[in-house]
Structure 1
Amino acid sequence: MFAWPAKQRMPNLLLIGPTNNGKSMIIEKFRRTHPPIPHEDREEIPVLVVQMPPDPSVGRFYTALLAALGAPIRPVRSRLADLEQLVLRLLRAAGVRTLVIDELHNILGGRADQRREFLNLLRFLGNELKIPPIGVGIRDAYLAIRSDDQLENRFAPFILPRWEPDADACALLASFAASFPLRRPSPIATTEMAGYLLTRSEGTIGELTALLTDAAVAAIESGEEAINQRTLLLAPYEGPTGRRRSFERELA
């Protein structure tokens, strides 16, 4: 998408995945791969990342774009047409080649007319600037895009699934084992161990990180100095479903 030549109808991408499964990490890695380039009179920003406001109004989104560009924020009373022209001018001046919109599912938090207006804005920005917008969010982001036939045809969905106990998961676990400062090797990079860990963490990388971190702390405190079955049982980690049930019991 980053290297796509400018044309009237730019391709779009919709990155969808469950919460806590690495979407924000992917965005940040992409942004670091294409960092801002300083010039004498300006800064070139090849990849601009902006978070969709919880209130999906066009004005608030333009303000969020100005903040992401590091530009002075205009007063709220500024006319929307003036704000639009300012944002377009600065996006062009900054040489933005890819616009990444995180938390795109926040579109659904607005009224029907606000959602329609914002979806029209996405199409307008892509056409006007000839850059590929990339939307990022949970499943609801696709539901929002699907409500507009033209946008649904443009935004190609890419699903970031939950992890499965396969070779990729074993490679991930091997990298975890190598990163912890433990004195003994941690035998976790096996299919059997991957199945156990992913079941307990419910398949997301954020929860897996929390589980292994707790196990590493338990390994140090117990003197085991390795992540194994014993230290995993000692780890105080509780998965999302368990935490939800505990909270519901507290409310009952």
Structure 2
Amino acid sequence: MMGEPDHLSPAARPIADLPSSERLAHMHGQWWIAHPHAEAALARLDDAFRFGPGRVRPPNLLIVGPTNNGKSMIAEKFRRLHPPSPSSCGQREVVPVVVMQMPTEPSVRRFYGAILTALNAPVSFNLPGERLERYALDLLRAVEVRVLIVDELHNLLAGTHRRRAEFLNMLRFLGNTLRIPIVGLGTKQAQIAVRSDDQLENRFEPIPLPAWQDDGVFARLLASFERALPLRERSALADAPEIRSMVLRRSTGLIGEVAALLTAATVHALLHGRERIDRVMLEGCDFRGPDERRALFEASFPRVR
């Protein structure tokens, strides 16, 4: 390749120098795209981490945003920033950040089972509820967890009113017992669920991850993507209003969809011997956004009049 592609990040430059076939293989991986919303959320998570265990009323957080707008990626980035390590005695593993999936319904037993699964511990649902609870709590203490992150917290609303109340009580109990920050990730439904309990609402600080709009922040996001995509020519994604508008419209303002669209456009460009993303690459790539998928589904099942 002639010269250094100064529009790319240092990490992307050697990849851009590879043949198209190898660059196509690279496109199947995942990479972190920094942006202001994510950096602000990571800063608040880091504040919670530094707060440390054992203190009264630790700061809980609730990262709220639409589906596929980067909540889980932020949690995974934070977990990687604080990876497991051997304890000082070398006899066990310290897991400072535990990321778990909320069960599909607000079952206390299934929640404790999900904690054990996240810690790669054996799970026996034959244990009485109190023993399962004690097992999970003892293990969380043993690994010296500092922050517990619960993804898909909006699943709380899938249960009956009684189940939801039991689960919210359990969350309060968990925070009071372990005295560590608990971080929930979810849609607006998660915030609605937490608001149904006055004590929990006061303890969970909401951190919004809104859908993107056509503004300077979105332009900087596109510039960050362009620095990571291994194309040898500058696409000027952030500078061309037509391109910016097309990406926003097809992605419906969700960062996961933006990533999928730009990845598909990059693959399309490489397959056709192109080294930049333009309107033709965006229109011709193998991608359907949420609105396009919905329209296709509705066309497949026409309404009966």
One fold, TM greater than 0.5?
yes
Contact conserved, 1:20 with 1:206, CA < 8 A, in 2? Answer: yes
What amino acid maps onto 1:11 in structure 2? Answer: P
Q: 1:14 aligns to what? A: 62
Q: By how many angstroms is 1:226 displaced?
A: 1.0
Give the secondary-structure state (helix, strand or coil) at the position aligned to 1:99.
strand
1:101 to 136, 150, 174: 150
Give the TM-score normalised by structure 2. Answer: 0.78
Q: 1:185 aligns to what? A: 234
2:197 to 148, 166, 179: 148
2:112 to 59, 62, 70: 62
Q: By how many angstroms is 1:222 displaced?
A: 3.3
**1:200 maps onto 2:250 in alignment:** yes
Q: 2:269 aligns to what? A: 219
Contact conserved, 1:167 with 1:191, CA < 8 A, in 2? Answer: no
In the alignment, the residues of structure 1 paired with residue 224 and residue 192 of structure 2 have an alpha-carbon distance, to the nearest angstrom, of 35
TM alignment of 1:1-252, pairs within 5 A: 1-5=48-52, 6-39=54-87, 40-74=90-124, 76-190=125-239, 192=241, 193-252=243-302
What amino acid maps onto 1:36 in structure 2? Answer: P
Q: By how many angstroms is 1:199 displaced?
A: 2.0
In the alignment, the residues of structure 2 paired with residue 71 and residue 109 of structure 1 have an alpha-carbon distance, to the nearest angstrom, of 26
In the alignment, the residues of structure 2 paired with residue 68 and residue 224 of structure 1 have an alpha-carbon distance, to the nearest angstrom, of 43
Cα RMSD, aligned residues only? 1.5
Q: By how many angstroms is 1:191 displaced?
A: 6.2
Give the TM-score normalised by structure 1. Answer: 0.94
Give the secondary-structure state (helix, strand or coil) at the position aligned to 2:50.
coil
Identity %: 51
Contact conserved, 1:215 with 1:232, CA < 8 A, in 2? Answer: yes
Give the secondary-structure state (helix, strand or coil) at the position aligned to 2:51.
coil
What amino acid maps onto 1:18 in structure 2? Answer: P
Q: By how many angstroms is 1:153 displaced?
A: 1.1
Q: By how many angstroms is 1:197 displaced?
A: 1.4
What amino acid maps onto 1:123 in structure 2? Answer: R
Give the secondary-structure state (helix, strand or coil) at the position aligned to 2:62.
strand
Higher mean C-alpha deviation, range 180-189 or range 128-137: 180-189
Q: By how many angstroms is 1:178 displaced?
A: 2.7
Q: By how many angstroms is 1:182 displaced?
A: 2.3
What amino acid maps onto 2:150 in structure 1? Answer: I
In the alignment, the residues of structure 1 paired with residue 102 and residue 280 of structure 2 have an alpha-carbon distance, to the nearest angstrom, of 43
Higher mean C-alpha deviation, range 222-231 or range 28-37: 222-231
Contact conserved, 2:250 with 2:291, CA < 8 A, in 1? Answer: no
In the alignment, the residues of structure 2 paired with residue 239 and residue 14 of structure 1 have an alpha-carbon distance, to the nearest angstrom, of 27
Higher mean C-alpha deviation, range 168-177 or range 155-164: 168-177
Which residues of structure 1 form unaligned runs of 5+? none
Give the secondary-structure state (helix, strand or coil) at the position aligned to 2:184.
strand
Cα distance change, pair 222–70 in 1 and its aligned pair in 2 (3 A)? closer
Give the secondary-structure state (helix, strand or coil) at the position aligned to 1:54.
coil
Give the secondary-structure state (helix, strand or coil) at the position aligned to 1:95.
coil
Deviations 1:53-83 (A, max 9, x none): 0122111111111111222222x22111111
In the alignment, the residues of structure 2 paired with residue 246 and residue 166 of structure 1 have an alpha-carbon distance, to the nearest angstrom, of 29
Contact conserved, 1:43 with 1:94, CA < 8 A, in 2? Answer: yes
Count of matched residue pairs? 251
In the alignment, the residues of structure 2 paired with residue 239 and residue 69 of structure 1 have an alpha-carbon distance, to the nearest angstrom, of 35
Which residues of structure 2 form unaligned runs of 5+? 1-47
